A and B are shown apart, each in its own frame.
Chain A
Amino acid sequence: MRAKYIGIAAAIGLTAITVSGCGEREKDYDVYFFNGKSEIAESLESVADEYEAETGKKVKVFTVGTSESSETLRSEIKSKDYPTVFASNAIGIEEWKSAGFAMDASEVQNPQLKALYESIPDSMKLEFEGKGNYGIPYNIEGYGLIANKKMLAEILETDDIDQFKQDYKAASYTEFQNMIESLDSYIKNGSGKDFTLNGQTYHIRSGKTAYTESLTGVLAIAGAEKWTYGNHYGNFPISAVYSTIYDVRESGPEKADSLKEPIVKSLKELEFATNYAAGADGPIGRGAQFINSTATGYDQAIQMLAEKKAIFMKNGNWIYSNVQKISEETAKNLIMLPVKVSFDENDVTADGMTPEKMNRSIPEFVSQYYVINAKATAEERNDAEDFVYWLNTSEKGLDFIINDFAFVPFNADENTQLDNPLSNDLIEYKVADDLLANPFDAAPASWGLESYGKYVMEELFVQKENWSDKQLNEIAEKCIKDWKSGMEEW
């Protein structure tokens, strides 16, 4: 008989375990923030402590590394312990709005927070189908051609890098190419022809110095990382044709045909750049090794810039902390320059855009927004509103954003000073309005990686010889075809 009871007890016990977790229980926090940026996960713990000390409200923070983030948020937001504030990017909002989780500014109860929502410049507002205002931007990010200014000063024997920067911004594409070629000749032979930027002549030092002798190539290129060209170079043709992410979503498929020539030109720019790529011990040509992750991975490319093996690297302001870990000295000398593509009037058809403006501008965008969960209870939403407002406006909160997160606040102006020189440059471009929007964010989800980036890596980077026009045209056509079939999902 005892055996019988043991059997039944075991059955009941196991069943109980299976169905447990369905019980009601008190939440041990006031605000639950689902964060989408792993870089700031640690700092957010200090934010939570600080906020609790100041207001007595407990904040729970949860962070998932970028690529799994939306899957986790999807299940988390449907659970009983849903986040009351969560992170979304500009295009992900479609999901959260359609599922009813994104709260619009009009429903905000805290009048000060409402004012903050309304103070967001139109180009940065988190909208869905051109309507609403669903989030407060985390920060501004941007990318371009990053250079080591001390290296440039050394090679060009000039102290006035600011002048160089102005001339570079205004320089034509041919001038840009001449500059790269002269620099390449300097690296290979210790001398190079004079070149002009914006009509100003720049002279190249003869002979290597202690500072320049480690150079192996002009540009550090992360050939193994599809996103560094798929998501970035892929944006230039899109920016030439579409003005904003809403323009991308609202235009018909025929507009995508105008992408062809701009895509071909962006590919030609990649071909040009990869001719001058730096490697660990010498120049690294295109070919199988060019996409080897242990030779041209993201970390390897950053290392080449930091260790002065390359003068330039195309990437974003977020590389600062990685460079800093390798060389404090290089990190503080970084400057951000625009990427140049040989677009002309026929290529640039986007409203309000000209080839000249594209030539001197860099793409800046908001990567994530704080969104308040519309399905949370009124009280939870209140707490969430207070927290978001505190983080983005209080002295302590802003101090965290600028110094701990190392973010460029979305409302930064010329008075904002940051440690990261690249972030300061972003503010400079923003103040001068030399900006490209990031319509790329609205492109079909996998276009950058699985079309543009994939073709570049699999068909072009592995090819040692020059790329033929026929090849480039075919790739551009495939990219447009993928773009259109991606549109069917909208």
Chain B
Amino acid sequence: MENFYKRWFKILVIPAVILFFVVIIIPFIMGITYSFTAWRGSYFKGSENWWGALVGVTNYIKVFRSEKFLSALVFTVKFTVVAVIMKNIASLGMAMMVKKVSAGKGFFRTVFFFPNLLGGLAMGFVWSFIFQNIFSLVLFGGESAIKIPFLCDMLQDPNKAIFAMALMATWQSAGYMLLIYLNGLNNIPDDLYEAASIDGATPWQKFKNITLPMLMPAFTIVFFLTLSQSFKMLDENLALTSGNFGTRMLSLQILLSTRENIPANYGMAQAQAIIFFILIAVISVAQVTVTKRKEIEA
């Protein structure tokens, strides 16, 4: 069997390569090209063909001068920082908890995983109800005995909204990340902990010196996943705040920018998408390199 795959590798891979070219590579190259033109979606402004409508880097200059784009970029970065931290702490905490319980391990795993099955839009609408009515009127405001202004009307302030959105995103994806961490925890040999106990290590020392370093491979994966997930978040942003109150993230900004001019300025939207791609590529590459190095050290 091994031989079969080796011998026919090139032929077997053709369909995937063709698909990849047709669906990803060609549109990507066209996208880069169009970002330098006055593309209006159904036509090129001032010309019949794209090469006649080339406008150089005008679209990119417009993007960097656009207040909306810049504020979306800043907001996305802030949100990503908060969300990555919250998701990692929550999923690692839950993973350690699930590992400790003796009975009903499968039950907890399933329950924590549930939110992952919900679509982003549906979940956003559910949570907007929770934030607007349950949090603001029942639990932490209105007639409630406990008054916590920070948790009221969270969607009407960009800073509070970061935490509202991160809370929802954590609730959704922590169950998935938990599985990865749980797998990592299960791969740590028990002898290490036993040896540490004999040496008189405290639980915190054990966590810091054994669990964390041994978890680096799992952490690499989770960190990478949560980072790109948060950076690219769209559905939840749309359903929860529609980008109101300065909570527009980059994906939503790209989506909405084709509706903010008539005829739609697709060239400029495309330029934003290219910048967006470069940002994600840079972050991913840098982050993979850094965590890989850590892994080796560990």
A binding-site residues for B, Cβ under 8 Å: 3-4, 7-8, 10-11, 13-15, 18, 67, 70-71, 74, 77-78, 91-92, 94-96, 98-101, 226, 288-289, 291-294, 444-446, 450, 454, 457-458, 462, 486, 489
Contacts and interface: CB of A to CB of B under 8 A. Distances in A.
A15 B41 CA distance: 29
Contacts of B244: 226, 454, 457-458
A95 B266 CA distance: 12
Given A3-B4, A4-B8, A10-B12, A292 B132 contact: yes
Contacts of A462: 156
A357 to B, nearest CB: 29
B42 A74 contact: yes
A450 B156 contact: no
A5 B43 CA distance: 45
B260 A92 contact: no
A45 to B, nearest CB: 27
A11 B40 contact: no
Interface stretch (B15-23, B76-84, B111-119, B190-198): B15-23
Interface of B: 4, 8, 11-12, 14-15, 18-19, 22, 40-43, 45, 128-129, 132-133, 136-137, 152-153, 156, 244-246, 256, 258-265
Contacts of B156: 288, 291, 458, 462
**Residue picked from B18, B132, B258, B262, most chain A C-beta under 10 Å:** B262
B18 A288 contact: no
B248 to A, nearest CB: 10
Contacts of A18: 15, 18-19, 22
Contacts of B129: 294
A69 B253 CA distance: 19
A14 B263 contact: no
22 contacts: A10-B12, A13-B15, A15-B15, A18-B19, A70-B264, A74-B42, A78-B42, A91-B262, A94-B262, A95-B40, A95-B41, A95-B42, A98-B40, A98-B263, A289-B137, A292-B132, A292-B133, A444-B261, A446-B260, A450-B260, A457-B244, A458-B244
Contact of B14 (A15, A96, A288, A489): A15
Nearest to B21: A18
A94 B8 CA distance: 54
A462 to B, nearest CB: 6
B273 to A, nearest CB: 15
A473 B186 CA distance: 63
B14 A11 contact: yes
A379 B132 CA distance: 56
B261 A294 contact: no
A294 B262 contact: no
Contacts of A13: 15
A288 B14 CA distance: 57
B181 to A, nearest CB: 36
A294 B133 contact: yes
Contacts of A292: 132-133, 136
Identify the 8 closest CB pairs spanning chains A and B, nearest first. Answer: A14-B15, A99-B43, A95-B263, A288-B153, A446-B260, A99-B42, A445-B262, A489-B261
Contact of B260 (A15, A78, A445): A445
